[in-house]
Structure 1
Amino acid sequence: MSALPEAYGAALERAMVHATDWLASVPTRPVRPQYDADQVASSLLPRLPDEATEAADVVDELASLAEPGLMAIQSGRFFGWVMGGTLPAAMAADWLVSAWDQNTGLRFATPAAAAIEESAAAWLLDLLHLPATADVGFTTGATTANFVGLAAGRQYLMDQAGWDLEGLGLSGAPRITVFAGRERHAAVDLALRYLGLGACVPVDADAEGRIRPDALAEAMEQQPGPSLVVLQAGNLHSGAFDPMKEAIAVAHDRGAWVHVDGAFGLWAAVSPVLRQRLAGVELADSWATDAHKTLNVPYDCGLAIVSSPEAMRRAFSIHTSYFIATDAGPGDPFEKVPELSRRARGIPVWAALRQLGRNGVIAMVEGLAANARALAKGLAAIPGVEVLNDVVFTQVSVSFGSDDRTRRVTQRLMAEGAVWMSGSSWRGRDILRISVSNWSTNADDVETSVEAVRQALEAEPEA
């Protein structure tokens, strides 16, 4: 009999105990880590031992070493960045993904993983009200999802110009001009750098960070030719959405490919209440979002959605003799992402959607937005607090008067650890930025968080 089950059993049992203990501690533990990276490093062995260690003992050692350096990102009081918690079914499915160890590249070789991801993709397109014929790739995150959408756009535009991108590369190719709002996320610039497209033309935005369609039209008139337009569903600081219908019309009238960076905000499209803020988003050519943000699946899981499967697959497909390719309509998973080898990221997505159901996804998204409004209302009632943005989705930006006081209050909040909210800069001011992303955040978390801010503010008077 194979010793394989016995080889894993003890280690997995210890992992289960430590995982359960961790999850049980999250609601009451400080959100901040107790140790910094140097303190954790000081506890690690400086030299790899010569002899082997029992797997279960390794798991015990790992859990003990890591625990004081862990951020309670799953806490309902974590608002530092746009990071969701993890839904129970998604976490359990992710464990199965590791156990099954499927290299999700070829449909023929890993049919279960491919079929489940295809099911999740179809559910997502339906929920987000995007074209049912679009391709969906499961990437590492929104940065890579933006990369995929923009790569598909680059391929499409080069094909339209009659340029052999695969054979000739970019040297001597027609210049593609990229237009994006001044308040775009830096991940867009990073993706453009990866693609060799250079810096974008920044387009003026309004006070909430929304791109101005008239400014876009003017900028595009000044620089005609092949172009990509990047729009934003969910501003980093205000949560605001670019005027999709108007901006897409401007871009398409000039032959541009339109990509939507919707890392967290694209999920507003699932809600009958919030969807109006994204009116026309389905008219774009590609979209990027994260499932490990608003959908609350484990890291990592981005979603790259492209309306033209041909452009996506021309950008990422490769043919080699040892692949057993499929002629099926859905295509092979590797044709939709910049990886030949990857874990089955779409399986936890399927599990999260299956756990929640359509109504549950809608309720969760609307609940996140409601918690953001509740936090903004509670904070605005505190003397000395100014809410700077229209709270239209899950982002709240706050000032405590001077930049100096705002920084000090932010630092105190992070040091005390009852909640975690991060500092940033917006409209030329230092701010406290709050991102509501966790499915488990409830009214008690909101109340506790407002009180934590009140106490930090009182402890840091204006100089």
Structure 2
Amino acid sequence: MSSTDTEALLRETLDHALAYLRSSAERPVGVPCDVESLRARLAMPLSEHPMDAQNVVADLVSRATPGLVSSVGPRYFGFVVGGSLPAALAAEWLTAAWDQNAALYKLSPAAMVVEEVVSGWLTEIFGLPSTASVGFVSGCQMASFTGLCAARGEVLRRAGWDLEERGLAGAPPLTVVLGEEAHATIYTALRMLGIGRRQIVTVAADAQGRMRADALAKALGGVSGPLVVCAQLGNVNTGAFDPCEDIAELTHEHGGWLHVDGAFGLWAAASPALRHLVRGAARADSWAVDGHKWLNVPYDSAYAIVADPRAHRAAVANTAAAYLVPGDRGERDAQDWVPESSRRARGFAVYAALRALGRSGLAELVERTCGLARRMAERLAGAPGVAVLNEVVLNQVLVRFAPRGGDGGGDADAFTREVIARVQRDGTCWVGPTVWKGQAAMRISVANWSTSEADADRSVDAILRAARS
């Protein structure tokens, strides 16, 4: 393709993207078509010969758009999914055009320095040590994997075992202590690190899903040897926060490493009104947090933060290839801080988002979406047959519905699931199902920058309409 042809292709693609964004606020929200019809649209034999790129892109838009979930829109309340801030989206387009390999300073000085600058901003926003190291990863799954990888190596080192030299075989037994409401990604990360279920101790949580410090103290009394404790900031159902101050004190008394899963909850630190919820988090040893949730940058974007850069680098640095020459003047090489080598430059979109928001804009984003969650909860709780199951301390709302004359037990389980299904079919908004304390519930997560009070009210109307019908 000539440069003229390439420019024409990109301008036409911009038109396609803008058309989609213009429609996102009013598109039916949810899964728009069944898998078989989508396969019929997209599956075809691969052609033998090249095709015109403009035709390929136009055809892709035509065939794929019916299968796109409108999660960028203002009434998508599933899975703590944010949207894309305009500045972040624009920077993401530039990231693709620049096509930088974000592994080494020598591959992309701009990408490395941007990550360095953003690392400082993030640790300051979260109130974490300025000396902590930061790796830019795909999501909290890999952020927790990275943090726990550093934890595994360090607690074994303290026990006199050099993991990098000797491997896991024959290492002192390691114990990981979790709250019973720990997120599934923690278990997956531990499995990938060779830490089995028999090495995990689970402690009780309270009615909101917060790890109980007294239960942790009791559990730690029976643990000896290398220790890792995992706390959670922002329960995926209730939004509740583990008591990090007490957990950190107990963990460090026993010589352990504290890892914090702060996927979305750690962003409460950006708000003066909500900062108290993360009290004690700075005393942890590693943290995992997403950017594609509450910061509203495009997928994928998350941050693995470790208080001890030496332990962080020892766990994941790529040091075996002689041709991957590191910087010699203090340059940042991203391959020292993440499990990946070649990857896209995730820092540009984060840089643009934080500069566009500023401190006050970021605080307003967090506080406003939490306010919308409370607004929805208050309206729902005031309706007959509707119960809000959680203390709405953040942006999460759990709702349960009972049929008229129902017993609130099994009848309410089936009825709640049917209300959720009707809301999803209606398409005004999208909410997801969950199970909380053995009961079926509707889960509402408010994290999109573009959600307004009108969107919240319109969504509540649709939910109550589904319940009444």
Do the structures match in fold with TM over 0.5? yes
Which residues of 2 match residues 139-154 of structure 1 at below 5 A? 139-154=137-152
Paired amino acid for 2:374: R
Measure, in 1, the Cα distance between the counterparts of 2:328 and 2:176. 34
Is 1:198 matched with 2:208? no
Is 1:399 matched with 2:397? no
CA shift, 1:46, in A, is 2.2
User: Does the aligned pair in 1 maintain the 2:123–2:130 contact within 8 Å?
Assistant: yes
Deviations 1:23-53 (A, max 9, x none): 0001111112322232111012421011211
User: Does the aligned pair in 1 maintain the 2:376–2:456 contact within 8 Å?
Assistant: yes
Deviates more, 1:321-330 or 1:198-207: 321-330
User: Does the aligned pair in 1 maintain the 2:148–2:259 contact within 8 Å?
Assistant: yes
Q: Structure 1 242/330 Cα, relative in aligned 2: closer, same or farther at 3 Å?
A: farther
Measure, in 1, the Cα distance between the counterparts of 2:330 and 2:123. 16
CA shift, 1:329, in A, is 4.6
Is 1:458 matched with 2:468? yes
Counterpart residue number, 2:283: 283
CA shift, 1:165, in A, is 1.0
CA shift, 1:309, in A, is 0.5
Counterpart residue number, 2:439: 429
Deviates more, 1:24-33 or 1:355-364: 24-33
Counterpart residue number, 1:41: 39
Measure, in 2, the Cα distance between the counterparts of 1:8 and 1:221. 66
Deviations 1:257-311 (A, max 9, x none): 0000011111001111101111111010000010000100000011111101100
User: Does the aligned pair in 2 maintain the 1:118–1:330 contact within 8 Å?
Assistant: no
Measure, in 2, the Cα distance between the counterparts of 1:318 and 1:128. 28
Which residues of 2 match residues 35-114 of structure 1 at below 5 A? 35-114=33-112
User: Does the aligned pair in 2 maintain the 1:80–1:420 contact within 8 Å?
Assistant: yes
CA shift, 1:5, in A, is 2.5
Counterpart residue number, 2:418: 408
Paired amino acid for 2:418: R
Measure, in 2, the Cα distance between the counterparts of 1:358 and 1:250. 33
Measure, in 2, the Cα distance between the counterparts of 1:45 and 1:211. 47
Which residues of 2 match residues 171-186 of structure 1 at below 5 A? 171-186=169-184
User: Does the aligned pair in 2 maintain the 1:179–1:202 contact within 8 Å?
Assistant: yes
Which residues of 2 match residues 295-314 of structure 1 at below 5 A? 295-314=295-314
Which residues of 2 match residues 277-356 of structure 1 at below 5 A? 277-319=277-319, 320-329=321-330, 331-356=332-357
Counterpart residue number, 1:383: 384
Deviations 1:39-93 (A, max 9, x none): 1110124210112111111110111111111110011110011110000010010
Measure, in 2, the Cα distance between the counterparts of 1:162 and 1:73. 49
User: Does the aligned pair in 1 maintain the 2:159–2:225 contact within 8 Å?
Assistant: no
Paired amino acid for 1:335: D
Paired amino acid for 1:410: I
Is 1:272 matched with 2:279? no
Deviations 1:139-165 (A, max 9, x none): 010000000110111111122122121
User: Does the aligned pair in 2 maintain the 1:76–1:445 contact within 8 Å?
Assistant: yes
Counterpart residue number, 1:254: 254
Secondary structure, aligned partner of 1:43: helix
Counterpart residue number, 1:131: 129
Measure, in 2, the Cα distance between the counterparts of 1:363 and 1:330. 34
Deviations 1:108-163 (A, max 9, x none): 22100101111111111111111110011110100000001101111111221221
- TM-score normalized by the length of structure 2: 0.96
Unaligned runs of at least 5 residues, structure 2: 403-411
User: Does the aligned pair in 1 maintain the 2:112–2:332 contact within 8 Å?
Assistant: no
User: Does the aligned pair in 2 maintain the 1:301–1:345 contact within 8 Å?
Assistant: yes
Deviates more, 1:328-337 or 1:217-226: 328-337
Unaligned runs of at least 5 residues, structure 1: none
Counterpart residue number, 1:217: 217
Q: How many residues align?
A: 457
Deviates more, 1:156-165 or 1:445-454: 156-165
Secondary structure, aligned partner of 1:24: helix
Counterpart residue number, 1:238: 238
Secondary structure, aligned partner of 1:49: coil
CA shift, 1:356, in A, is 0.4
Secondary structure, aligned partner of 1:382: coil
Secondary structure, aligned partner of 2:81: coil
Counterpart residue number, 2:408: none
Match of 2:428 among 415, 418, 421: 418
User: Does the aligned pair in 2 maintain the 1:292–1:302 contact within 8 Å?
Assistant: yes
Paired amino acid for 1:405: F
CA shift, 1:454, in A, is 0.7
User: Does the aligned pair in 2 maintain the 1:10–1:55 contact within 8 Å?
Assistant: no
Secondary structure, aligned partner of 1:222: coil
Measure, in 2, the Cα distance between the counterparts of 1:137 and 1:299. 16
User: Does the aligned pair in 2 maintain the 1:178–1:201 contact within 8 Å?
Assistant: yes
